Structures are given as C-alpha cells and as structure tokens.
Amino acid sequence: MSLIHPTAVIEDGAILGANVSVGPFVYIGKKVRIGDNTTIATHAVIEGDTTIGKNNRIFSHTAVGTIPQDLKFNGEDVQLIIGDNNTIREFTLLNPGTKGGGSVTKIGNGNLLMGYVHLGHDVIIGDSCILANGATLAGHVELGNHVVIGGLTPVHQFVHIGDFAMIGGASALAQDIPPYCLAEGNRANLRGLNLTGLRRTMERDEINLLKVAYRELFEQGNPLQEVAQSIFESTTSDKVKKLCEFIKTSKRGIPFNRIKNEDK
C-alpha cells in the first residue's frame, strides 16, 4: 500500500526519505527535502527551500516554508531547517529566514509546536521546547533548549529566551528571559526560577546555588550587570555562570521589578 495519497501534489525535485507518509491534498514544493519516517497529514503545505529531518509528525493544515512576513523580502534564497522528532500541530505557520537575519529559520529536535503556533523569519529554536496553542514568535527570536511558552503568548522580535525558561500563558514578552527563570504577565516580568522544570532535571544542590544567585541578582536592588559580573567571577557552578553570562550579553534587557534603595 502506497504511503502517498493519490490526491497529494509533490513537485518534481522534492526528495522524500524512506517511509514518508503523505496524506490527502498535501502540497510539497520542488525544493523540499523530508527525512525518513516523517508523516504529513491532510491539506498541509510545505514549500520553499525547506529541509525536514526524520521522524517528524506534521499535522493537517500546517503551512511550512511559505515566504517570510517581511515587507523587505524580495525573493532571496532563504531556508527553513527542521530537525528530528518534532511534532507540529494543526494550523501552525513556519516561515524561513530573511537576508537581513542570516537567511535561515532553524528548529532543533524533539520540539512540540501546538496548534496555531507561528514562528517568524530567522527564528532559532533549540531542542525539547514546548510552545502551547497560539504562541507566536516574531522575527529573530531565539530559544534555548527545554523552553516552555504558554498559550496565546506573543514574543517580541529579537528576544532571547534561555535554557529551561518558562513563559506563562497569555503573557506578552518584550525583553530577554535568562535561563532557568519563570516569567509571566503583560508585559511579562520575572517571577522567580522555573523550579518545576528544574526539579525534573537538576540536583537539589545545583538548584540551591541558582536560588542564591537569583536573589542576589534580582532581589537586592544592586546594579544588575555589576552583580552578574561579580557572581560570574566567584562561582564554580557552570549553570550559575550560564545565568550570569546571559544577563551580561543581553541586548534587550531583563524584565524584573527593580528595588529602589529606599525600599531595601
């Protein structure tokens, strides 16, 4: 029995790996490459210079690789690269890169993109991230590994979100969120560490070191960059160093409630 439905349209030049399943009324463009054991459900559209890895599940009515939503786009050669073992649910929209942003949108491995998720041009996502229904990432957003973004949450262009961070649902994020942290609200502010996520993957001693660093950084009212540099130089914890390095290199700033000296 064929794994390609007779109503599917696959342009000459497209490359499909072994055991790729293509459902009814799917369109696959001529520059598309799809890895082994990937399934593509009914009415999905995959076009452009798009590379999809192995063992992905692409659900119905997704639009993958359509041109970026950028008025400056003028038909340049741009790419969308998707890794392995991702789940891309219904009505998700994934755009390739743009010339001004590096020309590549890249998604890692093992991610879950729920329904109506949008990834704008030049977005970079690591591994094992979860984007809930209706999460939308503007252009040039970067996510680390194991990031969780709640439903109906928009993320402003050029925002960076570090490893193991979590953004609450129905938030609106306009600044960078350091690794291991939890943020929520409109506009989103830090609320503490993402302790639930950390406890699943990290030893208690390491979490305790992050707690101490978080308090020094965000709850003492001292200059953030100075504190980050001081902690970075004194700590032996790689994870605390990673937290401080993210803060030191942030371009959009970190959203948190600053304590005034008279409030201390």
Name the active-site residue from 108, 126, 139, 144.
139
Active-site residue, 102 included: no
The whole-angstrom separation of Cα 181 and Cα 155 is 16
The whole-angstrom separation of Cα 232 and Cα 243 is 9
Name the active-site residue from 122, 127, 163, 176.
122
* Beta strand 181-185 pairing with 188-193: antiparallel
CA dihedral for 35, 38, 43, 44, sign (positive or negative): negative
Contacts of 218 (CB under 8 A, 6+ apart): 190, 224, 256
Please, what is the end-to-end C-alpha distance for the chain in angstroms? 72
Name the active-site residue from 121, 146, 156, 160.
121
DSSP string, 128-154: S-EE-TT-EE-TT-EE-SS-EE-TT-E
H helix runs in the chain, sequence order: 195-199, 204-218, 224-234, 238-249
The backbone region for 131, taken as left when phi is positive above 0, alpha when psi lies in -120 to 50, beta otherwise, is: beta
Active-site residue, 77 included: no
Active-site residue, 5 included: no
Contacts of 75 (CB under 8 A, 6+ apart): none
Q: State the amino acid at position 154 in one-letter form.
A: P
The catalytic residue positions are: 121-122, 139
